[in-house]
Amino acid sequence: MTRRTETLPPDYFEALYQADPDPWRFATSPYEQEKYAASLACLPRRRFAAALEIGCSIGIFTRTLAEHCDHLLALDVANAALAQARARCMGLPITFENRRIPAEWPDGAFDLIVLSEVLYYLTAADVLQTAARARESLQPGGAILTVHYLGATDYPLTGDEAADNFAEASGLRLVAAHRALLYRIDLLEPEP
């Protein structure tokens, strides 16, 4: 399988959602449900004041994550996905925005940043920039949760490459890790 050499553009994702409103079966997949539960279990606490979710897709995990947040900023590059997420999460303390990271990183400071199954769509250089932006946006005592699929893809990076590159570039310490057959979760925090 030939790997892509560029960060995947927004129109790649827009086409996926136009062809299938749930291309990865977020709403029905046992893999996704297990991954969501494991992601929540890795969180360092039950409540966050200001969280950022990058790659919210159709809002399945977003809805659950919002239950633990005073406010959640959820980003995606596909308008079709964001429309579903807005409808699914109506009435919750969530702001949805169409942004492409790292170039369109949002302003603000967050005590939780979630990057679930998005970093391997980026080139190594974009992962390094994303790590720097995330670190700059992290409030003291905050945490970053990364989740990566470990199967074979044609994306610019493997799940392990994306996770390891991000962790190293962030300068944060790994405080919790969960590795399953098809995914890994890493929780990163600043040194105390």
Task: Please state the domain extents for the chain.
Answer: 10-189
In angstroms, what CA-CA distances link 23 with 51, 54, 58, 117, 126?
Answer: 25, 18, 10, 14, 24
d(CA 47, CA 175): 18
0.85 exceeded by pTM: yes
d(CA 177, CA 192): 18
The answer to whether residue 69 scores a pLDDT higher than 80 is yes
Q: Band the pLDDT of 1: cuts 50, 70, 90.
A: confident
Assign domain 10-189 to a CATH class: alpha beta
d(CA 82, CA 84): 5
151's CB contacts (< 8 A; 6+ apart) are: 159, 182
| Model pLDDT, residue 79 | 97
The answer to whether residue 43 scores a pLDDT higher than 90 is yes
Question: How confident is the model over 107-158, as pLDDT tens digits?
Answer: 999 999 999 999 999 999 999 999 999 999 999 999 999 999 999 999 999 9
10: cis peptide before it, omega within 30°? no
Q: What is the mean pLDDT of residues 1-24?
A: 93
Question: How confident is the model over 72-88, as pLDDT tens digits?
Answer: 999 999 999 999 999 99
| Model pLDDT, residue 178 | 95
